[in-house]
Amino acid sequence: MEQLARGMQEQDQMYIQDMPIADGFDAKRLIKRPRSEPMETRLYGEYLILSVDSGAVRDGVRVKVSLG
């Protein structure tokens, strides 16, 4: 059933015994893929920080650096 729900488009409907139980929008919202384990990376040295983006990642920040 989970695989069926994952493949639904937003306009699709799921029925059991002629009763609607979910549409594609609800299925996408309810069935989430598990998060991957975060990987910690340490860089020792002197770097020039070019940009910091905290909105594009789930946990932590994305940093663009250059060797200083």
Residues 6-52 have pLDDT tens digits of 667 777 777 778 887 777 777 777 776 666 777 788 888 999 999 98
Distances (CA, A) of 67 to 9, 47, 53, 57: 46, 5, 19, 23
pLDDT of amino acid 18:
86
- Cα 60 to Cα 54: distance, rounded to the nearest angstrom: 7
What pTM did the predictor assign? 0.37
Q: Per-residue pLDDT for 64 more than 70? A: yes
Residue that has been written with the tokens 């409907």 in this structure: 13
Report how many domains make up the chain: 1
Q: What is the pLDDT of residue 60?
A: 75
Who wins on pLDDT, 29 or 63? 63
Q: Which domain holds residue 7?
A: 2-34+41-67
